[in-house]
Structure 1
Amino acid sequence: MARIIVVDDVSDAGMLVKRILERKGHEVAAFTEEEDALEYVRKVPVDLAILDIKLKKMTGVEVLEELKKERQEIKAIMLTGYPTLETARDALRLGAQEYCVKPINKDELESKVAEVLGE
């Protein structure tokens, strides 16, 4: 199974994603602080990042940009409560494979994660 990080400024949202994906057998670390997530990825090889677009200090797109500097091969799924063409374009341009709209739909999340990881 995959090693996944979730970065969402709302702790409950990150924990929900973590619980859903741990039930599928993935190893999941959830973060509310961008710096903590970036520090974790510097130390631990991560297969997939699930990033909220609206975070505290950075955008999810900016976090993705930083993650790609650390691990070019990392895959990403963006989360947004406010889907726009612009945010989708930015995320895809930087290498996100997918994005999910909040509130999180368990089945949609599971299928997109499986698809992105090639399971």
Structure 2
Amino acid sequence: MTLLICRTCPRYDTRTSGEFGRRLTAAIADIEPETAVMIRNVQCLGGCPDDGVVAVDGPGKARVRFTGLTETAAAAVLAAAAAHHASTSGAPAEWEVPAELVDHLSSVTVKRLPRG
């Protein structure tokens, strides 16, 4: 399972750009130092200007993006990553989005498998 964390948030505040990703990654490590979640700090997840962006993703699964988060959401983000991983399609209708993240659900991108 993969948890994508924006490493540029807040992108438009050059004084604090990148702080969100560093703080959330550290908070996750404090909760679960040897997590099974593969964390990738990525350049941008397209949630601007509502910074504090993460996404849960996996091969052949929907990418679910959350915005407006802080490091205090670390436990909920880990729970979302685990629930997404356990689901078949990754679509939020198939797994329970943690209550703390419901109002932060930004987008769902359904991937189409190649024909062949």
The TM-score bracket by the shorter chain reads 0.3 to 0.5
More helix by share: 1
TM-score, structure 1 as length reference: 0.40
Asked which structure has the greater RCO (Cα within 8 Å, sep 6+), the reply is 2
